[in-house]
Amino acid sequence: MDFNPGFDITLHPTELSFEYGPGVCGPVVEFRTLDAIRPSLMEPNCSGPDPVYGIAMDVARAADMPELQKRMLLFGAVAYAGGRLGKEPVRSQGHVHAIAPHCGWSTPEWFEVWEGNAIIYAQECVTDDPGKCVAVSAGPGDQVIVPPGWAHCVINADPQKRMVFGALCDRQYGFVYDGVRQHHGLAWFPVFTADNAITWERNPRYTTSHLDMHQARAYPELNCDPNRTMYEQFRNDPESVHWVSEPQRVQAVWPAFIP
């Protein structure tokens, strides 16, 4: 891959799956079909790659598993196909995290791009008024954090190649799709131009909103080290990343937080 995440995992040469090196454990990849994400697409009857992406949840060095489990943390690895979904880039359908029983919060998610170019789109609410809407562009090594309770999706910004990312999330993760599906998608649709740039079209099922677009940034307010990979930060200081599964630890940060 274009970026070394800090543990021995590689992308399969042709498939949307992963190979684990010595001392690394992970599940068989689950694939998301095009039919599974059609309800949130601008063109639900479009053609496109199928499967759309492969996902492996609970990937880590075997030696680190007890610490991850103790802190209710989980690493995931995801590989997206290249290509298009009609006018749109390859992407997930978008969701809000379910309330995690152990902490009582809809927990945040920490993304790190490993290969290709991604956009992490997030919006504050899935009611008719979506609140703040943000699209963050990220390349290999860039990290993006989506705060608690926000709806979000991940987008492959380059139709010519696969895109791969890792994510650190709560071990009791769950996905809530109801609000997204009621509005037939998120508040903004990414759309390819003739030269494969991405523009954005508002979903008319929401009230008018403003979309903020920017590059990935550092997160000093969460004491994230921009010189370490996400996995290295966990291994170096597990306590420093425990806010992912217990966001109440940094409760004062979230009201003004922007990805």
Q: Is 141 exposed, middle or buried (0-12, 13-18, 19+ CB in 10 A)?
A: middle
Rg value, the chain, Cα: 17
Yes or no: say if 161 and 80 are a contact pair by the CB < 8 Å rule: no
Q: What is the pLDDT of residue 44?
A: 96
The two three-digit tokens of residue 212, written as one number: 């903020």
Cα distance between residue 41 and residue 111, in whole Å: 22
Alpha helices in 123-242 (DSSP H): 178-182, 230-236
Alpha-carbon dihedral of residues 207, 212, 216, 220, nearest 10 degrees? -90
The two three-digit tokens of residue 122, written as one number: 């997030």
* Sequential pLDDT tens for the chain (259 residues): 899 999 999 999 999 999 999 999 999 999 999 999 999 999 999 999 999 999 999 999 999 999 999 999 999 999 999 999 999 999 999 999 999 999 999 999 999 999 999 999 999 999 999 999 999 999 999 999 999 999 999 999 999 999 999 999 999 999 999 999 999 999 999 999 999 999 999 999 999 999 999 999 999 999 999 999 999 999 999 999 999 999 999 999 999 999 9
Close Cβ partners of 129 (under 8 Å, ≥ 6 residues apart) = 206, 207, 209
What fold does the segment set 9-256 form as a domain?
Jelly Rolls (2.60.120)
pTM greater than the 0.95 cutoff: yes
Q: What is the pLDDT of residue 164?
A: 98
Yes or no: say if 1 and 114 are a contact pair by the CB < 8 Å rule: yes
Quickly count: other Cβ atoms within 10 Å of residue 252's Cβ: 9
